[in-house]
A and B are shown apart, each in its own frame.
Chain A
Amino acid sequence: MSKKILTTPISDEALAELNVGDIVYLTGHLVTCRDVAHRRLIELKQKLPVDIKDGAIFHAGPIVREKEDGSYEMVSIGPTTSMRMEKFERQFIAETGVKLIIGKGGMGEETAKGCLENKAVHAVFPGGCAVVAATKVEEIEQAEWKDLGMPETLWVSRVREFGPLIISIDSKGRNIFEENKKTFNERKGAILKKIHDQVKFIK
C-alpha cells in the first residue's frame, strides 16, 4: 500500500476522502501553535503572525537549537495534549482557515463541529516520538512570537512526509476519541463490579 500524502495548501477534496483511523503523511509547511497563541488570537484578538489558511498547525512545543549563523535546528518535536486547546479550536479554525490540526489525544465536540463546518481534520502524531518527527523537518523557515519562549513560539517548518498521522476527527465530523470513550465507559462498569467484590478489605 502506498503512503497517503497530503501537501500544503490542503484542498477540501483531499480531506473529503479521509476517514477516522486513516493514516496519512504531510509534505509542505507546518506551524507550531499551542496554548498562548490560541489565547492571543481568540481572547486578545491579536492577528496570528503567520498565514495558515489551507495550512497545517501542530500542537507542539519543540526543542530548537540556535546555530551560530542565527538559523535554527529542530532537535526534538512531538505533539502536546490537544485537549488543552479545545476551548479555542472551533473559533480558531473558523478565523484562520486552517485545514489540518495535528496533536496528541482527542479533542471534544466543539472541535468536531469546527472540523465539520470548515472541512478540516484533526490527526494524532504518536506522542513521545519527537526524534522521528524532528527528522522529517527539512528546515525551520521562520520563528514568530519568540517572546513566548521556546515551547510557545510559532515555529514555521518545511516538512517532508511528516507522520504517521492518524485521523481522529474527519471532515464529516466523526470523532474517534469520543466514540472510543463511550466504549471504554461501557466496559468500565462491569470490570469495576468484579474488582469491588475482591477489595472489600474494610469489614
Chain B
Amino acid sequence: MSHENSVEYMSDIMTKFTSYIGKRLPRDVKNKQAELRKKEKNPMAIEIYDTMAENQEAADKLDRPSCQDTGVIQYFIKVGAKFPLLGELEDILRNATLEATRKGPLRHNAVETFEEKNTGTNAGSKIPWLDWDIVPGEDTATIEVYMAGGGCTLPGSAKVLMPGEGYEGVADFVFDVITSRGINACPPLLVGVGVSTSVETAARLSKKAILRPVDTRNPNAKAALMEDLLESGLNEVGIGPQGLTGDNTVMGVNIESSARHPSTIGVAVSTGCWAHRRGTIKFNPDLSYEVLSHDGVIL
C-alpha cells in the first residue's frame, strides 16, 4: 500500500470502528449486565434491565446508536514510536470522527466553548480528545475509543486530601460522589478511581481505570482489596438500575494509582454508565488489525 492509501485505509477502519462501538457494548460490559439481571429480585429493576437488553438487541438489529448521546469522542492511544503512521494518527482520528458522525450517525456533541455554538461535526478545538502514550521501540498502535456521554461525565470529580484523611477519606469521597451524583448517571455504573498526587494526575488515572475491563483487579493487593470493599459497599447501598433501587449499584470499581507527594492524596472519580461504550483495536505495522473488546466484529 502507498503511504496515502495506508492513511485512507486506517481512517476508514477507525471510522467504522467508532460507529460500531456506539451500537454494541463490549464483551465484559454485556456479560456483567446479564449477571446483574440474574441476581436482581426487585421487579421494577428487572423491568429496567429487560428494557436495556431489548434496547441492545434493537440497536444491533437496526444498526443504530444504542444511546442517543454518543458523547464527545475520546481516543486513548498507546502507540509505538516506530508505528509507521504515528505522524498521521491525529489527522486519521479527526477524520474518523467526522466520517463516523455522518455515517454512524452520531449526535452532534461538540459545542465550541465561549462561542457556545455547536460545530455540527463532533470536532472542535482539541476535540476529538486524544490521550497519548508513546511506547519506545514498539511498532504497533492500540487505540481505545470512548464515547464520553453527558450523563456519565457529570458525576466526575477530583480533590486533593490531606494525608491525615488517609484512604478512609478516599472511600468517603467515592461514596459521596456515587450516592449524590451517580444516581442520575444511568447506573449500574463502572466506577473509576484514581489515587495519585494531584487533581490532574488522579483525574487522568480515574479515566484510565474505566477503560480497564469490568471484573479485572489492580495487581497491587491493597488496591485490589480497596476495589473489592468499594464495590461490595456500593452494592450494599442498593442504588439499582437508573437509581430507582435494586440489589446492586455498580458493575465494578477499578482503581489506578501512581506514587504521590508525602503531603497529598489526590483522588478522582470517573464513571461509565451501564451503556459503557468503549472499544479497543490494535493495529500491526502492516495495518492488519484485531478488535480486542468485542466478539464477532465485522467492520
Q: Do A and B bind each other?
A: yes
Binding site for B on A (CB under 8 A): 21, 23, 60-63, 65, 75-78, 80-83, 104-106, 124, 126-135, 148-152, 164, 166, 168, 176-177, 180-181, 183-185, 187-188, 191-192, 194-196, 198-202
Asked if B166 contacts A199 (CB within 8 A), the reply is yes
Residues of B within 8 A of A (CB-CB), count: 59
Contact indicator B233/A124 (Cβ below 8 Å): no
Nearest A-chain residue to B245, judged by Cβ? A180
Q: Is the CB of A128 within 8 A of B105?
A: no
Tell me, yes or no, whether B274 is within 8 Å of chain A by CB. yes
Which A residues lie within 8 Å of B108 (CB)?
149-151
Please, how many angstroms separate the alpha-carbon atoms of A154 and B67 in the complex? Answer: 19
Q: Is the CB of A201 within 8 A of B68?
A: no
Report the minimum CB–CB distance from B221 to chain A (whole Å). 11
Q: Mark B55-76, 1 if CB is under 8 A from A, else 0.
A: 1001100101111111000000
| A129-B55 contact in complex given A76-B65, A192-B172, A196-B171, C-beta closer than 8 Å | yes
Q: Which residues of A contact B48 (CB under 8 A)?
A: 126, 164, 166
Residues of chain A with a CB closer than 8 A to B120's CB: 149-150
Please name 9 pairs of A and B residues whose Cβ atoms are closer than 8 Å in the assembled complex, sorted by A.
Answer: A65-B105, A75-B105, A76-B66, A126-B51, A126-B242, A129-B54, A135-B62, A191-B237, A202-B163
- Cβ-defined contact, B68 with A63, below 8 A: yes
- Chain A residues with Cβ below 8 Å from B239 are 180, 184
Chain B residues positioned under 8 Å from A65 (CB to CB): 105
Docked Cα-Cα span, A177 to B184, in Å, equals 10
Contact bitstring B157-171, A, C-beta under 8 A = 1, else 0: 000000100111011
